[in-house]
Amino acid sequence: MEFLQLGLFGAALGAGLAIIGAAIGIGMIGSRAVEAMARQPEVAGNIQTAAIILAALIEGATLFALVVTFLIQSGVLAAAG
């Protein structure tokens, strides 16, 4: 029973940390992109495109991390049951 609880806690902790890390990363990209556009408005389009691509890459890595945590969770539940 303790194995089940620790496994599920680990999966939940991993999912939470992945989401928090992605939120911090995307927030930093957004803030720095707005700051860069304010300093050089003539390249705002290029900065915006780069920021969107970087945010999409972060979201992709976060989705991968969430899939891994769900696989861990299903593996723990299968081993316990």
**Taking the domain 2-80, which CATH number applies?**
1.20.20.10
Domain extents in the chain: 2-80
Q: What is the pLDDT of residue 72?
A: 87
Identity of the amino acid at 2: E
Query: Tens of pLDDT along 36-80?
Result: 999 999 999 999 999 999 999 999 999 999 999 888 888 888 887
Mean pLDDT, range 33-38, rounded to an integer = 96
Q: What is the pLDDT of residue 57?
A: 96
pTM of the model: 0.82
Q: What is the pLDDT of residue 54?
A: 96
* Residue 1 clears pLDDT 70, i.e. is over it: no
Identity of the amino acid at 21: G
